[in-house]
Structure 1
Amino acid sequence: MFDVAITNGLFFDGSGAPGAIRHLGIRGGKLVAISSEPLEEGAQQTIDAHGQWVMPGFIDMHTHYDAELVAAPALRESVRHGVTTVMIGSCSISMVLSGAEDCSDMFTRVESVPREHVLPLLQARKHWNTPADYATFLDSHPLGPNICSFLGHSDLRVAVLGLERAVDASVRPSDAELRQMEQLLEQALDAGLLGLSSMTNPWDKLDGERQRSKSLPSVYAPWREYVRLNRVLRKRGRIHQGAPNLVTKLNVFAFLWESMGLLRKPLKTTLITLMDVKADPWLAPILGPLTRTLSRLTRADFRWQTLPVPFVTYADGMEFVVFEEFPSGEAALHLASQDLRSELFRDPDYRRRFREDVDKRFGPRVWHRDFDDAWIVDCPDQALAGHSVGELARARGMHPGDLFLDLLVEHGPRLRWRTMIANHRPKVVEKLVAEPATLIGFADSGAHIRNMAFYNFAVRLLKLVRDGEARGQPAMPLEQAIWRLTGELGEWFGVDAGRLALDRRADLVIVDPQHLDAGLEAYHEDEMEGFDGLRRMVNRGEAVRATLINGRIAYRDGEFAADLGQVRGYGQFLRAG
């Protein structure tokens, strides 16, 4: 008897092959039957997937679940949307080597998860400080989806140099310290971690009081440090996940150079992120083809991360990382107290500097700083809701920067507003998701909990493709889209995920195409499990009918398995290599 039988579904194996009607049998966590004819054996549980798509579970390649999985390992908001494998330790921030307070200070401000929730959690439950011990923790933890992890370069630097020296621009690690970093990276790779994640963009800042508002430690590393660590990754065939310096953008070419395979082994390199940014609309259409061509000519193994949805973001007052981009925004975010911020916002000299930063039309940026695209969605003064800050400023004869500061003084974080930062042109997005130089990801799941929610990015890519088919202009065939979300990622990252075949682990999702609709884009909030009532933005929708992890039904028809996140037997720590 099968543990689970799935009948009559349009089956895709994650290889890029077209789908076919198949009947599946699962036993002992593995797929043991794939048949064009009805299964003769019985099953303890049967799912009739008539009219639905059956495919490998989705892979979320860029998340910041590092803290959440400690408190609530079910990671329900991803499982709800068919994700069966997530990758953590992104953007140089892992929680492998450093102490609890160091990990918290590196994580909370950058990823917009309150420090008062993260620090006590890590102080109480982080009992490891080596890669082997971290792997043991993951092996014994009641995971929901499968977990893969990078070693964060900021985590590595702090473990070797200490936090103070790691964020001192005058400090250059000694040869002995560089050898120690190499040895710890080797240990992480031996333990099955994917590779190294780094950060060279100076806008990401530390929390806490000790080194508050310093950039992440990875930013301070000399390039020779990256070269030394990349040699380890290249030798082992592992991955460097990075972020370029958005101030100059020039070190993109340094990352590309390190990835090249001219007279050496290529280094797998993936950078964040290739999106159609409103502030630089000329960049996205050329960057994908340019890097693809350079990679082909130089034998580089270089991929951008991209997201298949409009990049709509929300903010409570000024609690948003984009304000780190310019000096007056940095000055405000340096202040943890709302009272001190309000005092600053009233200062005439500060208001002048803020107006100048808003009006500046040239220079590096991600946020367009257009207050006509800053829409108030909630506020104690409900008469403001539904209007843009720019619209209200014109009506009052004010500079939009001045009005925004006045609203912050009056309402603080109770002023909730949204804007679209990128992916505003559907045709450009369709080209980006079909671009071979990209990988589908950068959902930032688990982070920016009040700013954005892209947990369902995978089904939204399927919607994009299905909508294109309905118009007669598909961005790509459906089977290619599924491969991009599953098999391509598993193969590129070198982990056992993303494919369905006989005697392989049965991680799969059943999608109802009739529910690939506008409901996937709706705004929702919910409590964050394990964080004492903390609320975050989430996704809903009914496109995913069932998610199976290791052959067990983790989610079905809107309900989670009662023991998900409570017992072992669902997700596993997936070791690279």
Structure 2
Amino acid sequence: MAYDIIIKNGRFFDGSGGPSGVRHLGIRDGRVEAISESPLDETGAKDVIDATDRWVMPGFLDNHTHYDAELLAAPGLTESVRHGVTTIVMGSCSLSTVCAAPKDCADLFSRVEALPREHVVAALEQHKTWQTPTEYVRFLEQHHMGPNVAMFLGHSDIRSKVMGLGRSVNERLRPTPEEMKQMEDLLEEALDVGFLGLSTMTNPWDKLDGERYRSSQLPSCYAGWGEYGRLHKILRKRRRILQSAPNITTKVNTVLFALTSAGLFFRRPLKVALITAADTKAYWFIWILATKLAGITNRLLRGNMKWQTVPMPFEVYADGMDLVVFEEFGAGEAALHLADELERNELLKDEAYRRWFRRDYESKFQPRVWHRDFYDAEIVDCPNPKVIGKTFGQVADEQSIHPVDAFLDLVVEHGRKLRWKTTIANHRPEILRKITAHSGVHIGFADSGAHVRNMAFYNFPLHFLRMAKEAQETGEKFMSLEKAVWRLTGEQADWYNVDAGRLAVGRRADVTVVNPAGLNHELGDYHEEPVEMLGGMPRMVRRNDEAVSTVIINGRVAYREGKFSDDYCAQGRWGRLLKAGVADSIDTPLAGGTEMPVKGKAAGAV
């Protein structure tokens, strides 16, 4: 029988971390049919892809996205797929769109993830017909998705559903016994139908949008550890995953997450995925503490805790004051509370407010993530061309004023037309290599689908491959290309317990073909692309179309040489809903319930 697709002459990585080599792949009916050292018979093949001088590997897994609304209105998720991502995980940070009403979901998502609320509401009101995890799964199983999708249930989602949004953000209230039981039942139901686990949030930065409860923290932040513990107990019993964020500013409760993960005495460990391990400019040593804690937790306490980290400089852009880091101190939070630009400008002009902002800016004792250095913040666009290319500190020096005043003056004068950038973390390549090589770290945390004007880490897998390639070329100690591919594919698929990340005979054919010549500095080049579902708002992206030659999802070519297939996400089935512990989303358990079976011939078999 003829193959649907043959990929020939490529350097083949199977996603296991094992040796690579030139192989020929035959794909039929969405599956890998053959992996051969010798050429395959091309007779009758519908498509033959010559991968000479290319790397052929499993599609990448993006472990931290906020595509929950975009998946409804623009299910191709093209900005991820074009970079070789074939599986995404959503429902992170306590946020999902499963149980709460559309407007409640929009209030949960929009300010936290910097998405225009009106468009999030529109997408949810148009598509949301479900109110339970089971109904949501039924919807996704019929939805024409681009990449494969796995998901967490969000704690803020179920807490607001059960308690009502207003009660769920009242710090004086705790769920009644009946409400707690309802949350437990919703979590059990979600796990029954294949959710990966539960996501929670303890970082106080994250605030509600809308007018009803604006600037309240996310509902999950108001829970106590007794409430968390009830839900953790279910996850531990069911061998599922907790995804969360410690208090990123103080970082103290990170120890509680380590103890939660620990397999103490006769208790089994709990998988815990946390954001984020990073080499921040504010605290040069914090990455050491994070990785040491993961090592102690996993080795000495028998835990299973993983930090997520993005393998590239954590560069952020802002339009005026629209940037989440301002939520970490009082003066910034007060400004972001005011959605109306005129009201906000009146506040920014007030001298008492400016004194408050300067105190926060200059404080040496306030915990922080942002370095709070306007000499390290470059203006990239402004109606006043004289300031473009300068830092706010330089502008201040020219005018003999404080950097805070220079910044606020420009924000008042130009509003969101003032665009600037800074790098918060991962600015030292040698330290970034140490972080990304650590066994307690997962490569990811792209926040894909969120912060569309602030950051662009969609192509993070390509940056990681570039790190490995350049280290190999220069002789620097880092990791092999085979291990780097495994870190992006098989390692995470196994840990999240989803059927992805490996190429073997009989497995689903999710394939990315990489052109190593394209793994260069252009991966970091800044571009913008309008997002139709957000009313044409320009999304910040990073693009080098030379880096990825072909992306195949479920045995079908989705993307090739800079263009998507005409029928991509329009006809037939592309991505699948991937359920925890289930092979290819059918009722076949994965081997042992924890790791992927490698079916058929091993990589390299003829």
Q: Normalising by structure 1, what TM-score?
A: 0.99
Q: Which residue of 2 aligns with 1:443?
A: 446
In the alignment, the residues of structure 1 paired with residue 114 and residue 517 of structure 2 have an alpha-carbon distance, to the nearest angstrom, of 35
Shift in Å, 1:202 = 0.6
Asked if structure 2 preserves the Cα contact closer than 8 Å seen for 1:379 and 1:415, the reply is: yes
Which one-letter code corresponds to 1:260 in the other structure? Answer: A
- Measured against aligned partners, the alpha-carbon deviations of 1:205-243 in whole angstroms (never above 9, x if no partner) come to 000001000000000001111100011101111000000
Asked if structure 2 preserves the Cα contact closer than 8 Å seen for 1:389 and 1:403, the reply is: yes
When structure 1 is superposed on structure 2, of 286-295 and 49-58 the one drifting more is: 286-295
Q: Which residue of 1 aligns with 2:269?
A: 266
| 2:433 aligned residue (430, 433, 437) | 430
1:545 equivalenced with 2:552 (yes/no): no
Asked if structure 2 preserves the Cα contact closer than 8 Å seen for 1:285 and 1:428, the reply is: no
- Measured against aligned partners, the alpha-carbon deviations of 1:157-195 in whole angstroms (never above 9, x if no partner) come to 011100011000011112221111111000001111110
In the alignment, the residues of structure 2 paired with residue 213 and residue 286 of structure 1 have an alpha-carbon distance, to the nearest angstrom, of 31
Q: Which residue of 2 aligns with 1:382?
A: 385
- Return 5+ residue gaps in structure 2 as ranges: 582-606
Asked if structure 1 preserves the Cα contact closer than 8 Å seen for 2:42 and 2:48, the reply is: no
Asked if structure 1 preserves the Cα contact closer than 8 Å seen for 2:258 and 2:293, the reply is: no
Shift in Å, 1:362 = 2.1
- Measured against aligned partners, the alpha-carbon deviations of 1:87-111 in whole angstroms (never above 9, x if no partner) come to 0001000000000000000000000
- Return 5+ residue gaps in structure 1 as ranges: none
Q: Which residue of 2 aligns with 1:399?
A: 402
Q: Which residue of 2 aligns with 1:230?
A: 232
Partner of 2:533, secondary structure, is coil
Which one-letter code corresponds to 1:329 in the other structure? Answer: G
Q: Which residue of 2 aligns with 1:347?
A: 350
| 1:83 aligned residue (74, 82, 85) | 85
| 2:469 aligned residue (466, 483, 490) | 466
Q: Which residue of 1 aligns with 2:601?
A: none
Kindly tell me: are residues 213 and 507 of structure 1, through their superposed partners in 2, closer, same or farther at Cα, counting changes over 3 Å? same
Q: Which residue of 1 aligns with 2:569?
A: 565
Asked if structure 2 preserves the Cα contact closer than 8 Å seen for 1:141 and 1:568, the reply is: no
1:111 equivalenced with 2:113 (yes/no): yes
Aligned counterparts, 1:188-227, within 5 A: 188-227=190-229
Shift in Å, 1:18 = 1.6
Q: Which residue of 2 aligns with 1:513?
A: 516
In the alignment, the residues of structure 1 paired with residue 335 and residue 19 of structure 2 have an alpha-carbon distance, to the nearest angstrom, of 53
Shift in Å, 1:562 = 1.3
Partner of 1:254, secondary structure, is helix
Q: Which residue of 1 aligns with 2:19?
A: 18
- Measured against aligned partners, the alpha-carbon deviations of 1:297-319 in whole angstroms (never above 9, x if no partner) come to 11001111111100000000000
Q: Which residue of 2 aligns with 1:295?
A: 298
In the alignment, the residues of structure 1 paired with residue 366 and residue 578 of structure 2 have an alpha-carbon distance, to the nearest angstrom, of 42
Shift in Å, 1:286 = 3.6
Shift in Å, 1:568 = 3.6
- Measured against aligned partners, the alpha-carbon deviations of 1:361-396 in whole angstroms (never above 9, x if no partner) come to 222111111001110000000111000001110111
Partner of 1:225, secondary structure, is helix
| 1:416 aligned residue (388, 403, 419) | 419
- Measured against aligned partners, the alpha-carbon deviations of 1:411-436 in whole angstroms (never above 9, x if no partner) come to 00100000000001110000011000
Q: Which residue of 2 aligns with 1:368?
A: 371
In the alignment, the residues of structure 2 paired with residue 127 and residue 539 of structure 1 have an alpha-carbon distance, to the nearest angstrom, of 35
In the alignment, the residues of structure 2 paired with residue 323 and residue 392 of structure 1 have an alpha-carbon distance, to the nearest angstrom, of 21
Shift in Å, 1:248 = 2.8
1:154 equivalenced with 2:144 (yes/no): no
Shift in Å, 1:41 = 4.3
Which one-letter code corresponds to 2:398 in the other structure? Answer: A
Asked if structure 2 preserves the Cα contact closer than 8 Å seen for 1:143 and 1:568, the reply is: no
Alignment coverage as a number of residue pairs: 577
Asked if structure 1 preserves the Cα contact closer than 8 Å seen for 2:250 and 2:368, the reply is: no
Shift in Å, 1:569 = 1.4
Aligned counterparts, 1:36-75, within 5 A: 36-42=37-43, 43-75=45-77
Asked if structure 2 preserves the Cα contact closer than 8 Å seen for 1:72 and 1:565, the reply is: no
Asked if structure 2 preserves the Cα contact closer than 8 Å seen for 1:279 and 1:368, the reply is: yes
Partner of 1:111, secondary structure, is coil
Q: Which residue of 1 aligns with 2:584?
A: none
In the alignment, the residues of structure 2 paired with residue 49 and residue 557 of structure 1 have an alpha-carbon distance, to the nearest angstrom, of 12
Q: Which residue of 2 aligns with 1:28?
A: 29
Q: Which residue of 1 aligns with 2:122?
A: 120
- Measured against aligned partners, the alpha-carbon deviations of 1:506-541 in whole angstroms (never above 9, x if no partner) come to 001000001101110000000114333121101210
When structure 1 is superposed on structure 2, of 117-126 and 484-493 the one drifting more is: 117-126
Aligned counterparts, 1:289-328, within 5 A: 289-328=292-331
In the alignment, the residues of structure 2 paired with residue 511 and residue 124 of structure 1 have an alpha-carbon distance, to the nearest angstrom, of 37
Asked if structure 1 preserves the Cα contact closer than 8 Å seen for 2:262 and 2:297, the reply is: no
Runs of 4+ in structure 1 off by over 6 angstroms are none
When structure 1 is superposed on structure 2, of 359-368 and 55-64 the one drifting more is: 359-368
Asked if structure 1 preserves the Cα contact closer than 8 Å seen for 2:374 and 2:393, the reply is: yes
Q: Which residue of 1 aligns with 2:501?
A: 498
Q: Which residue of 1 aligns with 2:243?
A: 241
Partner of 1:109, secondary structure, is coil
In the alignment, the residues of structure 1 paired with residue 399 and residue 50 of structure 2 have an alpha-carbon distance, to the nearest angstrom, of 60
When structure 1 is superposed on structure 2, of 146-155 and 523-532 the one drifting more is: 523-532
Asked if structure 1 preserves the Cα contact closer than 8 Å seen for 2:338 and 2:344, the reply is: yes
Asked if structure 1 preserves the Cα contact closer than 8 Å seen for 2:116 and 2:534, the reply is: no
Which one-letter code corresponds to 1:349 in the other structure? Answer: A
Shift in Å, 1:290 = 3.4
In the alignment, the residues of structure 2 paired with residue 302 and residue 534 of structure 1 have an alpha-carbon distance, to the nearest angstrom, of 37
In the alignment, the residues of structure 2 paired with residue 257 and residue 518 of structure 1 have an alpha-carbon distance, to the nearest angstrom, of 41
In the alignment, the residues of structure 2 paired with residue 490 and residue 304 of structure 1 have an alpha-carbon distance, to the nearest angstrom, of 15
Shift in Å, 1:360 = 1.1
Which one-letter code corresponds to 2:217 in the other structure? Answer: S
Shift in Å, 1:287 = 2.4
Partner of 1:147, secondary structure, is strand
Asked if structure 2 preserves the Cα contact closer than 8 Å seen for 1:467 and 1:474, the reply is: no
Which one-letter code corresponds to 1:457 in the other structure? Answer: F
In the alignment, the residues of structure 2 paired with residue 283 and residue 249 of structure 1 have an alpha-carbon distance, to the nearest angstrom, of 10
In the alignment, the residues of structure 2 paired with residue 109 and residue 385 of structure 1 have an alpha-carbon distance, to the nearest angstrom, of 28
In the alignment, the residues of structure 2 paired with residue 553 and residue 5 of structure 1 have an alpha-carbon distance, to the nearest angstrom, of 11
Which one-letter code corresponds to 2:9 in the other structure? Answer: N
Partner of 1:62, secondary structure, is coil
Q: Which residue of 2 aligns with 1:526?
A: 529
Asked if structure 2 preserves the Cα contact closer than 8 Å seen for 1:73 and 1:144, the reply is: yes
In the alignment, the residues of structure 1 paired with residue 515 and residue 137 of structure 2 have an alpha-carbon distance, to the nearest angstrom, of 36
| 1:556 aligned residue (542, 557, 560) | 560
Q: Normalising by structure 2, what TM-score?
A: 0.94
1:187 equivalenced with 2:189 (yes/no): yes
In the alignment, the residues of structure 2 paired with residue 248 and residue 455 of structure 1 have an alpha-carbon distance, to the nearest angstrom, of 28
Partner of 1:318, secondary structure, is coil
Asked if structure 2 preserves the Cα contact closer than 8 Å seen for 1:140 and 1:568, the reply is: no
Partner of 1:298, secondary structure, is coil
